[in-house]
Structure 1
């Protein structure tokens, strides 16, 4: 069955290739219009850092943005600007911890709840958003997922690649996963390959460096793994604190993210068994989804059982119309963060801090 599914998907990709050619031509023309100065790219005299990717979703932009916020807020007044994917509002506004995912999107809400001291904003027009943040006195602006937003010229562009996708064909949408040409990596200032498995060797890294090497610029290539924190309850309560995963615990994993495979693999090494309930990226949960989740959880025979979800999904599950049905369930969230090796982390930290200090003249 799996083989038939793979063959059918491969056949579908081939059928979609003509549309990818048309899409690729349009993207190429747009990029050249910016490169040749026919379209204007606006730059700023303040540090503007962009975290982005070339493929669709699942490269770890949110954890990398959080890493930058932790690093920078100790030195500067920092703001972050996102489009606010999945929100039902329009325009530029500042996110409050009391907002919902429908107001601002799941990722900006996650940033604000984890970093209440940081100004978190959303807005479709990145140039206008950055201008407003700088005018309000912010020293550094970090943009989540804006590498393709060519109207804005970042001072530091951080481009992420998922390790598992590196050996796959770099086909453009809709036949493939790439929304921009692989050659556009030349616009990055640093490239980071994320979600490195523990089995990756130095030869694997060398092969990837060769693949990513640009003939235009000598761009640093770094590698990071996923670091997992201790699970925390979605709803507070003393009886829920201090719970840990053991081989005696069964887990219902509920995700609406682009690539839940690494999280499932991590849980499989720490729990007795893992049942997965997977939805598309940024899935807007409904009451029917919640009923299905409860039914799947109740069907697990093991009395020692938990529901595990991600930080992004938590923002959507906390919607007022849904949370009432979940509050009595043992739902826990797994925090994640990027892990570099010692030398590469120090290089990356100094790269970011030196850039900000140079631009601000400090």
Structure 2
């Protein structure tokens, strides 16, 4: 992969110019973007996946759901449907996509979950339902410039900070680094638990936030329990198991499990991987399967795996969370 990216280096300037020019056209009004008179929060990144958007969306849901009618709107990557879908008990990962189905499975009693590749249409559809949401959280929409969110939350991982990266295909950035200026909040995600104040200060200095921007740091907190549809078990009490992942970057999870001294082998697939009948058959030979919550959404309906398939929940933990939460609630309260 590194060799291929090196060979594709001559393509990078063209990708840079195209994405930079697109943003300039939006910034100066040559391409139209729609604004809204209600709270619209966008969670996104500059990098191509793996920055922790799903835990961040869930964090925002927990902050707001008790006081406001919330909806999430995602593209629904990998789903088999193409039009706007508002989540119902009949839906699965195939109709909503794995991440939106995860939101629905956990929060359907408190929020609405919708998918639409056309975010303008998705917003219009959500605002047209009988019990319309007061707040919409846009999942992975930082590059969706046809919609202007009132608050943009940009995520960048501690291990691959956007200001040290370059655009695709040689780097991982979806657009040039200058695009970070559109963010109101920048969160450095997946930080080590022992990150020092000095290291945080150095990162903030290198980010060099604009006047309108605030920088926060977050870590991933892993549950002490694993869950299936039928039961829960203590993570440390698990016998030897097979870890199955279809996410952008499984390294932090693997490192955590190794640090816990657990015995496992790892079957790694690409992000949003659609597991085949052959894959499922091979999983049947394993004694115990552990996966991420997102992957669980795509595997849970396989009857042959139900007795051996568990997932490990994670949550985002934000340093200075009180200040972060106040920024979110103050933004929503303005409306």
TM-score under structure 2 length normalisation? 0.94
Deviations 1:307-360 (A, max 9, x none): 2111100110024xxx1221232x21111111123xx1001100000000112x
Decide whether the 8 Å contact of 2:72 with 2:139 is kept in 1: yes
Decide whether the 8 Å contact of 2:157 with 2:190 is kept in 1: yes
1:293 maps to what in 2?
A: 283
Q: Does 2:219 align with 1:225?
A: yes
2:318 maps to what in 1?
A: 340
Q: Secondary structure at the match of 1:165?
A: coil
Q: How does 1:1-362 map to 2 (within 5 A)?
A: 9-117=1-109, 118-136=111-129, 137-166=132-161, 169-214=164-209, 216-236=210-230, 240-241=231-232, 243-246=233-236, 249-295=239-285, 297-298=286-287, 306-319=288-301, 323-329=302-308, 331-341=309-319, 344-359=320-335
Q: 1:248 to 1:313 in 2, by over 3 A?
A: closer
CA distance in structure 2 between the aligned counterparts of 1:43 and 1:174, rounded to whole angstroms: 31
Shift of 1:262: 1.1
1:5 maps to what in 2?
A: none
* More displaced 10-residue stretch of structure 1: 348-357 or 191-200: 191-200
Shift of 1:17: 1.3
Decide whether the 8 Å contact of 1:245 with 1:270 is kept in 2: no
Shift of 1:201: 1.9
What are the ranges of 5 or more consecutive residues in structure 1 without an aligned counterpart? 1-8, 299-305
TM-score under structure 1 length normalisation? 0.87
Q: Secondary structure at the match of 1:351?
A: helix
Shift of 1:270: 2.5
Matched residues, number? 332
What are the ranges of 5 or more consecutive residues in structure 2 without an aligned counterpart? none
Deviations 1:15-70 (A, max 9, x none): 21121111111101100000110011100000000000000111110011011111
Decide whether the 8 Å contact of 2:162 with 2:177 is kept in 1: no
Taking only aligned residues, the RMSD between alpha carbons, in angstroms, comes to 1.7
Q: 1:247 to 1:185 in 2, by over 3 A?
A: same
Decide whether the 8 Å contact of 2:293 with 2:312 is kept in 1: yes
Deviations 1:262-288 (A, max 9, x none): 111222233432211110000001111
CA distance in structure 2 between the aligned counterparts of 1:347 and 1:328, rounded to whole angstroms: 43
CA distance in structure 2 between the aligned counterparts of 1:332 and 1:230, rounded to whole angstroms: 13
CA distance in structure 1 between the aligned counterparts of 2:225 and 2:242, rounded to whole angstroms: 14
